[in-house]
């Protein structure tokens, strides 16, 4: 089989951000369930946190393609 070990490494590296994004949205859903009127304020914070956690996965996929 062909292919590069980089991609396996990227798969492993994506576990961390995956768990992180899961935690962020779990907390967001919890917060909205407890206090539905806070949804507007929580939403932008949740998406901001999601973007920051996702940055790690994004750097990972870029490096997986760049480093040979």
Partner 1 sequence: MRCPGSTERTRGIALNVTGLVLRAAEGGEGGFEAPGPASFDLPPVFSVAGVGVTKPMLQLVLGAVLVFGFLYLAARKRAMVPGRLQFAGEQAYSGVRNGVGRDIIGSRDFMPYVPYLVAMFFFILINNWFAAIPFIQFPTFSRASMAYALAGLSWLVYNAVGIRKHGFLGYLKLQCVPSGVGVALLPLLIPLEFFSNLIVRPVTLALRLFANMFAGHLLLILFAVGGEYLVLHSDNWFYPVAGVAAWIMAIAVSFLELLVQFLQAYVFVLLNATYIAGALADEH
Would you tell me which residues interact with partner 1 (CB under 8 A)? 1-4, 6-8, 40-41, 44, 47-48, 50-51, 54-55, 58-59, 61-62, 65
Least Å distance between CB 32 and partner 1? 16
Are 7 and 65 in contact, with CB atoms under 8 Å apart? no
Least Å distance between CB 51 and partner 1? 5
SS3 of 7-65: the string is HHHHHHHCHHHHHHHHHHHHHHHHHHHHCHHHHHHHHHHHHHHHHHHHHHHHHHHHHHH
Least Å distance between CB 28 and partner 1? 14
């Amino acid at each position: 089989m062909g292919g590069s070990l980089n991609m396996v490494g990227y798969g492993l590296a994506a576990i961390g951000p995956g768990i992180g994004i899961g935690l962020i949205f779990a907390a967001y859903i919890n917060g909205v369930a407890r206090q539905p009127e806070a949804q507007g304020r929580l939403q932008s914070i949740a998406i901001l946190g999601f973007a920051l956690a996702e940055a790690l996965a994004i750097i990972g996929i870029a490096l997986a393609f760049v480093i040979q």
